[in-house]
Homo-oligomer: A and B are copies of this chain.
Amino acid sequence: MGKGMETRDRILDQAVRIASRDGLEGLTIGSLSSELNLSKSGLFAHFGSKDELQLQVLHAGVARFTETVARPALAAPRGEPRIRAFFERWLAWANDPAMPGGCIFVAASVELDDRPGPQRDFLAQAYGDRIAFLAKAARMAVEAGHFRADLDCEQFAFDIDCLALGFHYAKRLLRDPKAEPRARFAFERLLTLCKA
């Protein structure tokens, strides 16, 4: 790996951190470069535009999510255990100290949901992939006999997603310590419904 790519990774690592706290617009090239002891123009040269920087930040975020949440979940056995692993990792992801502002996708989604462009497209696709991942995991749980055969797996994915979002808001805005037990309770109740 050339030195350029090394620097680029260092930039994106810090950029993801900042974007999770201040959003993709709040992430500015000037402050980012000074935090990394780089010149504005030196950093800028790596991306060519702020739009491209934002896009790369989202890519880096997805890579980190895959690494931290999705891949470990895939290491768990198919069916219910995998779904439990995914949910647990997801809750931890929202509290990851490496992302002090909470989930970067929550922040970016709200920012971009009315601004058409490649960033929005990428984010929507990532969202869809997450839902698809959950729905597929549910289908596997059905096949494995963990869940009942007539389960609406797409609805299940929506339900889980709601929980993660609700947890995120209660935790980050209200700092409500009960947010996590509430999310877990709703999760268990949902699993129970998937069986009977």
Which residue numbers of A lie inside 8 Å of B, CB to CB?
21-23, 25-26, 100-102, 106-107, 109-114, 120, 123-124, 127-128, 154-155, 158-159, 161-163, 165-167, 169-170, 172-174, 178-179, 182-183, 185-186, 189, 193
Are A114 and B162 also in contact (CB < 8 A) when A124-B173, A169-B127, A189-B193 are? no
Is B173's CB under 8 angstroms from A169's CB? no
Chain B: minimal CB distance from A125 (Å): 9
Is A174's CB under 8 angstroms from B25's CB? no
A-B contact pairs, 24 of them (CB 8 A): A22-B114, A23-B23, A23-B25, A23-B110, A101-B113, A101-B114, A102-B113, A110-B110, A110-B111, A113-B173, A120-B173, A127-B169, A127-B174, A155-B185, A155-B186, A158-B166, A158-B170, A158-B179, A158-B186, A159-B166, A161-B169, A162-B162, A162-B166, A165-B165
Chain B: minimal CB distance from A121 (Å): 11
Q: A158 — which chain B residues lie within 8 A by C-beta? A: 166, 170, 179, 182-183, 186
Q: CA of A170 to CA of B124 in the docked complex: distance in angstroms?
A: 9
Q: CA of A24 to CA of B124 in the docked complex: distance in angstroms?
A: 23
Q: CA of A124 to CA of B162 in the docked complex: distance in angstroms?
A: 20
Q: A179 — which chain B residues lie within 8 A by C-beta? A: 158
Quickly give the copy total for this chain.
2
Is A155's CB under 8 angstroms from B169's CB? no
Contact of A162 among B111, B123, B163 (CB under 8 A): B163
Are A186 and B165 also in contact (CB < 8 A) when A114-B100, A173-B113 are? no
Q: A169 — which chain B residues lie within 8 A by C-beta? A: 109, 127, 161, 165
Is B111's CB under 8 angstroms from A172's CB? no
Q: A178 — which chain B residues lie within 8 A by C-beta? A: 154
Q: CA of A5 to CA of B113 in the docked complex: distance in angstroms?
A: 33
Q: A161 — which chain B residues lie within 8 A by C-beta? A: 166, 169-170
